[in-house]
Chain A
Amino acid sequence: MILQIIDICYLVAVVLFIVGIKMMSHPDSARKGNSIALSGMILAILASFLTPGLDNLALILIAMVLGTIGGIYSAKTVQMTAMPQLVSFFNGMGGAAAALIGLVEYGDLPVDDIGKGAVLMSSLVIGSVSFSGSLIAMGKLQGVLKDIRINKMLGFAVLAIAVALAAYILTSGEPQPILIYVLVVLSLIYGLMFVYPIGGADMPVVISLLNSLTGVTAATTGLLYDNKVMLMGGILVGSAGILLTLLMAKAMNRSVSNILFTSFGAGSGTAAAGADGDQVAKEINAYDSSILLAYAKRVVIVPGYGLAVAQAQHAVHDLEKILEEKGVEVLYGIHPVAGRMPGHMNVLLAESDVPYDKLIEMDDMNEKLPNTDVVMVIGANDVVNPAANDDPSSPIYGMPILEVNKAANVIVIKRSMSSGYAGIQNALFFDPKTRMLFGDAKKVLNELVAEVKNM
Chain B
Amino acid sequence: MEAIIEYISINQQELYIFILAIFVGVEVISKVPTVLHTPLMSGSNALSGVVIVGSIIVLGKTDPANYLALSLGFLAVLLATLNVVGGFAVTNRMLEMFKKKPGKK
Contacts and interface: CB of A to CB of B under 8 A. Distances in A.
Partners in one complex: yes
Given A54-B60, A107-B69, A235 B82 contact: no
A64 B81 contact: yes
A344 interface: yes
B25 A235 contact: yes
Chain B: interface secondary structure? helix
Given A97-B80, A214-B45, A243 B90 contact: no
Contact of B93 (A49, A75, A114, A222): A75
Interface string B36-71: 111111111111111111111111111010100110
Nearest to B96: A31
B91 to A, nearest CB: 5
Interface stretch (A88-96, A150-158, A373-381, A441-449): A88-96
Contacts of A347: 38-39, 94, 97
B35 A104 contact: no
B89 A76 contact: yes
B56 A49 contact: yes
Nearest to A91: B45
Contact of A18 (B24, B38, B39, B105): B24
Given A41-B50, A344-B38, A353-B104, A223 B72 contact: no
B61 to A, nearest CB: 7
B82 A71 contact: yes
Contacts of A252: none
B60 to A, nearest CB: 4
Interface stretch (A226-234, A256-264, A280-288): A226-234
Interface string A15-38: 001101110111110110111011
B86 A54 contact: no
Nearest to B17: A231
B26 A239 contact: yes
Given A21-B29, A30-B39, A34-B92, A237 B101 contact: no
Interface stretch (A335-343, A382-390, A392-400): A335-343
A56 B23 CA distance: 38
B29 to A, nearest CB: 5
Nearest to A334: B34
A38 B87 CA distance: 10
Given A71-B81, A237-B44, A232 B17 contact: yes
B17 to A, nearest CB: 6
Interface in A316-371: 334, 336, 341-344, 346-347, 350-351, 353, 355-356, 359, 361
A412 interface: no
A105 B62 CA distance: 9
25 contacts: A21-B28, A21-B44, A34-B92, A53-B60, A63-B78, A67-B78, A67-B84, A68-B85, A71-B85, A72-B86, A87-B41, A90-B83, A90-B90, A94-B48, A100-B72, A100-B79, A103-B72, A104-B72, A218-B51, A230-B51, A233-B50, A239-B21, A336-B34, A343-B36, A355-B101
Interface of A: 17-18, 20-22, 24-28, 30-31, 33-35, 37-38, 41, 44-45, 47-49, 51, 53-57, 59-60, 62-64, 66-68, 70-72, 74-76, 78, 83-84, 86-87, 90-91, 93-94, 96-98, 100-101, 103-105, 107, 112-116, 118, 207-208, 211, 214-215, 217-219, 221-241, 243-244, 247, 334, 336, 341-344, 346-347, 350-351, 353, 355-356, 359, 361
Q: Which 10 A-B pairs have the closest CB atoms?
A: A115-B7, A67-B81, A239-B25, A71-B86, A71-B85, A75-B89, A342-B37, A54-B60, A114-B3, A235-B21
